[in-house]
Structure 1
Amino acid sequence: MATVKAELWSWLKVIMVALLLTFVIRTFIMTSTTVKGVSMEPTASTGDRIFVNQATYYFGEPERFDVIVFKASEDADYIKRVIGLPGDIIRYEDDVLYVNDEAIPEPFLAEARASMVHGRLYTTDYVSHTVVPEGYVFVLGDNRRKSSDSRQLGFIDMNDIIGKAGLRFWPLDKMGFME
C-alpha cells in the first residue's frame, strides 16, 4: 500500500509541476492565436495558428515591420505590422510610404502590388505628417485595402501589445516564422 501512495504522490507532483510550468509559459512567455480576417494577407490568412512571443518586448521595444498581436478591444486581438515608432512622422503619397520624409520600401507587399492592375494599394493618400506619440506605435495590415488598423483605430498603446508574432504552426504547409 505504501508503494501505491508513493507512486500516486510522485505522479501528483509531476502533474502539479507541469500545470505550473504551463501557466507560467502561457502567461509570461508564449501563447498562441488564430488569425481572423483578411487584413494581413498574404502574410497571414484566416485560420492560421501562430505562436506569439510575449517575452520579446519585456527586454526591448517593437521595431519597424515587426508583426505584432495586440489587444484591440475587450474581446478582440488583432495582428498587424508595426510601421511607425514613437517620434516618427508617417505619410503616404502616391502609394509610397514615407517615414521621416524617407521613402520606405515594403518588400512584404510585393505580392499585393503584383496583383494590382491599375489600382493602388492605398485607397487614398492617407497620412499627412502624422507624428507617432511616445509610448505608441502606428500599425497597418498587409492587405491595406481591407484592414482595420491605425487608420481607423488610431495609435496603438505599447501596453496593449501582447507580443511579437513568431512561428506559424498551422496549416502545416505554411509552417514557418512570420516575416
Structure 2
Amino acid sequence: MNLKTKNELKSWGKSLFIAFGIAFVVRTFLFSPYIVEGASMEPTLHNQEKIMVNKFNLTDRFNRGEIIIIKGKEENYVKRIIGLPGDKVEVKNDKLYINGVFFEESYLSQNRKLAEQMGSKLTGDFGPITVPKNKFFVMGDNRLYSKDSRNGLGYIQKEDIVGQSEFVFFPFSDIRPTE
C-alpha cells in the first residue's frame, strides 16, 4: 500500500470516528427516536408511530399537558403530564379539576364521544389527590385503555422522564407536532 492510500484511509477512518461520535452524543443527550407502542395515547399518537424525543434541556419546568416518555422497569411509556408537584388533582363527572379549577382537555373530545356512545365515562371519578413534591401525575389520552398514574404507574419521578415528545416523523404522510 502506498503512502497516499494510507493517508486516505486514515482520513476516512478519522472522519467516520468523528461522525459516529457526533451521532452518539446527539442520540444519547439531545434527541432520540421512540416508537409508540399500544393505544394508550390515541387518537393523539397511534400504535407504531415514530416520534422524536427531546432529551436536551430537561429542566424542572415541565408543563401540564406535555407529552413525555417515562422510563419504566421493563418498558418505556408515553403519557401526558396532568399534575405537577403540589397540585391537587380530581376528576368528577368526567371533568378534570386541578387545584379546584376546571381544566379543559380538548385533546380528549374524540375519545369522550366514543365513551359516551358506549354509555360510559372516559375517565372514572377519583381524588382529590395531592401530587407529592418532585413527582408528576400522568395519564394517557385513551383513558379507558391506559396504564398510568391512576392504575399502575403511580407518581412519576423527574429522574424517570426520558424526554419530551416533539413531533411524529413516521409515517411520513402524517408528520406533525405532538401536542
- TM norm structure 2: 0.94
- TM norm structure 1: 0.94
Listed as ranges, the gaps of 5+ residues in structure 2 are none
Distance 1:51 1:92 in 2: 31
Q: How many residues get paired? A: 175
Q: Corresponding residue for 2:19? A: 18
TM-fit CA distance, 1:114: 2.7
Is residue 165–residue 178 contact of structure 1 (8 Å, CA) maintained in 2? yes
Q: Counterpart of 2:69 in structure 1: which amino acid?
A: V
Is residue 90–residue 130 contact of structure 1 (8 Å, CA) maintained in 2? yes
What pairs up with 1:29-178 in 2 under 5 angstroms? 29-57=30-58, 59-73=59-73, 75-115=74-114, 116-117=116-117, 118-122=119-123, 124-126=124-126, 128-152=127-151, 153-178=153-178
TM-fit CA distance, 1:60: 4.2
TM-fit CA distance, 1:71: 0.7
Listed as ranges, the gaps of 5+ residues in structure 1 are none
Is residue 166–residue 178 contact of structure 1 (8 Å, CA) maintained in 2? yes
Q: Counterpart of 1:72 in structure 2: which amino acid?
A: G
Percentage of identical aligned residues: 37
Is residue 56–residue 163 contact of structure 1 (8 Å, CA) maintained in 2? no
Distance 1:62 1:2 in 2: 56
Q: Corresponding residue for 2:29? A: 28
RMSD between aligned alpha carbons?
A: 1.1
The secondary structure found in structure 1 opposite 2:63 is: coil
Distance 2:54 2:145 in 1: 26
